[in-house]
Structure 1
Amino acid sequence: MTMSAIATLAALPHALPDCPNGRTALFAMRRIGGHGLTDARAAHALFTAFGEGFRRPLTLVRGLMADMAAAAAGPISIAPCCCARMTHAEAALLTILARVEVYPETARLLLADLLGIRAVDGVLASAAAVAVAFADEGRPITA
Structure 2
Amino acid sequence: MTDANRFAGTTLASMTTVLPHPLPPCENARIALFAMRRMGANGLGDARAAHTLFTAFGQGFRRPLILMRALMADLAGSAAGTIAIAPCCCARMTPAEAALLSILARVETAPDTARLLMTDLLGVRRVDGVLTSAAAVAAAFADEGRPVTG
1:99-120 CA-to-partner distances (Å, cap 9, x unmatched) read: 0001111100000000000000
1:52 aligns with 2:44: no
What letter corresponds to residue 39 of structure 2 in structure 1? I
TM-score normalised by the chain length of structure 1: 0.99
Percent of matched pairs sharing the same residue? 70
How much is the aligned-residue C-alpha RMSD, in angstroms? 0.7
What letter corresponds to residue 24 of structure 2 in structure 1? P
TM-score normalised by the chain length of structure 2: 0.95
**Residue of structure 2 equivalent to 1:141:** 148
**Residue of structure 1 equivalent to 2:3:** none
2:80 corresponds, among 66, 73, 89, to: 73
Q: C-alpha displacement at 1:50, in angstroms?
A: 0.1
2:28 corresponds, among 10, 18, 21, to: 21
Structure number with greater Rg is 2
**Residue of structure 1 equivalent to 2:118:** 111
Q: Give the Cα separation in 2 of the matches to 1:142 and 1:93.
A: 12
| Unpaired segments ≥5 residues, structure 1 | none
What letter corresponds to residue 133 of structure 1 in structure 2? A
Q: C-alpha displacement at 1:5, in angstroms?
A: 0.2
| Unpaired segments ≥5 residues, structure 2 | 1-7
- How many pairs align? 143
Q: C-alpha displacement at 1:52, in angstroms?
A: 0.2
Q: Give the Cα separation in 2 of the matches to 1:11 and 1:63.
A: 27
